[in-house]
């Protein structure tokens, strides 16, 4: 349908430009894109070229070629809409080299995490797996934001008295991401059991996938924890055993496997007595969240699990 606005070939009819569909002035990629008439129905493209950041028009007087950033302005339903800016000419070779190395590092990381090889030429796969890899790297970032040095900033983010509620909401979302990630990769390999565990200075997480018949509860630290820590003495423990109602429910539903998540924030710890209380990942690190998911027909569903809790404490060497 012909536009009701005048022809916007501003290259030959500059006196009409002010009546044309135009893209508004904005700043993006550190470049100021001034108000520009849009592309016409005749296909004449209105493309704006401006010097890259750090250059000016007067730099042309030196005889050097000034790199240009470019951007097209389109007319969509008589509204000016900017295309994404083209700024490749503004990027330095060192930055492009850094970007390539960063991508290569991420691809190598996801290969080690997921055992899935993706080359940089497979652009769609790179995008998908880069997002997955970065999600997994959230563990490192989450550890850094929980240090006690950041307490003042955290306290300012929520009104007094709501911090615990907000913290549990964040933890709930955080555990869901890792559960879904592990479930996805186990499903792609047609596996029922697997685990992901990470213990950092301020945060620890364990995600375990088990078949229902092999689930008898959770004990911390478990056998794998003891092996990782090289502990030979019997430690203090906390165990969580499902009650009869949970077992009955599992038997009734066609649950393929269970996904168990435990997350601990060490900086919120309240120590239980243990002769080895100084060890980093012993039972003294507090349990903030236990969450369970049921995999039914390939999909994860949160499950409210009633647990019976038992603590075994060591009181040897008590004066």
pLDDT of residue 125: 44
Q: List pLDDT tens digits, range 115-166.
A: 444 444 444 444 444 444 444 444 555 566 566 666 666 565 555 555 556 6
Which residues, in sequence order, are bridge partners of residue 242? Answer: 307
pLDDT at 3 over 50: no
* Sign, CA torsion 95/96/100/103: positive
DSSP state of 306: -
Contact 140, 174 (CB under 8 A): no
> What is the chain's mean pLDDT, rounded?
65
- Identify which has the larger pLDDT, 130 or 80: 80
The pTM score is 0.41
* CA dihedral (95, 97, 103, 106) positive or negative: negative
Comparing CA positions, the residue from 295, 287, 294, 249 lying closest to residue 266 is: 287
**pLDDT tens-digit series, residues 13-70:** 555 555 678 888 888 877 888 888 886 555 666 788 888 876 766 555 556 678 888 9
Question: What is the Cα–Cα distance from 73 to 37, expressed in whole angstroms?
Answer: 7
| C-beta contacts of 246-255 below 8 A and 24+ residues apart | 246/305, 246/306, 250/212, 250/215, 250/294, 253/294, 253/296, 254/296, 254/297, 255/212, 255/294, 255/295, 255/296
pLDDT of residue 63: 62
Average pLDDT over residues 246-258: 70
Could you tell me the strand order of the sheet in which 79-82 lies? 46-51, 68-76, 79-82
Per residue in 87-108, pLDDT (tens digit) is 877 766 655 555 555 555 555 5
d(CA 242, CA 216): 7
Compute the average pLDDT of residues 222-245: 70
Most confident of 148-152, 189-193, 314-318: 189-193
Q: How confident is the model at residue 313 (pLDDT cuts 50, 70, 90)?
A: low
The confidence score (pLDDT) of residue 128 equals 47
Q: What percentage of the chain has pLDDT greater than the value 70? A: 41
Contact 23, 35 (CB under 8 A): yes
Q: What does the alpha-carbon distance between residue 140 and residue 205 come to, in Å, rounded to a whole number?
A: 11
Q: Alpha-carbon distance 159 to 155, whole Å?
A: 8
Task: Indicate the pLDDT class of residue 244, thresholds 50, 70 and 90.
Answer: confident
């Amino acid at each position: 349908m012909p536009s009701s606005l005048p022809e916007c070939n501003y290259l030959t009819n500059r006196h009409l430009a002010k009546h044309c569909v135009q893209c508004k002035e904005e700043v993006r990629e550190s470049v100021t894109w001034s108000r520009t008439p849009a592309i016409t129905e005749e296909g004449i493209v209105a493309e704006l070229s401006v010097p890259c950041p750090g250059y000016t028009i007067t730099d042309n007087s030196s005889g050097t070629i000034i790199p240009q950033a470019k951007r097209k302005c389109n007319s969509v339903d008589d509204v000016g809409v900017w295309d994404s800016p083209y700024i490749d000419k503004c990027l330095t070779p060192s930055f492009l080299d850094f970007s390539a190395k960063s991508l290569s590092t991420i691809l190598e990381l996801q290969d080690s995490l997921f055992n899935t090889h993706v080359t940089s030429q497979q652009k769609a796969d790179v995008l998908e797996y880069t997002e997955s890899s970065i999600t997994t790297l959230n563990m490192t970032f989450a550890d850094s934001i929980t240090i006690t040095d950041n307490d003042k900033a955290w306290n300012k983010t929520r009104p007094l008295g709501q911090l615990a509620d907000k913290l549990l909401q964040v933890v709930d979302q955080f555990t869901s991401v890792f559960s879904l990630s592990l479930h996805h990769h186990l499903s792609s390999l047609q596996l029922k059991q697997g685990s992901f565990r990470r213990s950092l200075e301020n945060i620890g997480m364990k995600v375990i996938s088990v078949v229902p018949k092999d689930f008898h509860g959770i004990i911390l630290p478990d056998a794998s924890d003891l092996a990782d820590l090289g502990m030979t003495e019997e430690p203090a423990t906390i165990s969580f055993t499902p009650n009869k109602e949970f077992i009955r429910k599992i038997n009734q539903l066609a649950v393929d496997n269970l996904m168990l998540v435990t997350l601990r924030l060490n900086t919120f710890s309240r120590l239980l007595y243990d002769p080895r209380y100084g060890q980093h990942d012993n039972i003294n690190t507090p349990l903030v969240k236990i969450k369970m998911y049921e995999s039914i027909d390939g999909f994860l569903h949160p499950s409210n699990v009633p647990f019976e809790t038992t603590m075994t404490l060591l009181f040897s060497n008590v004066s």
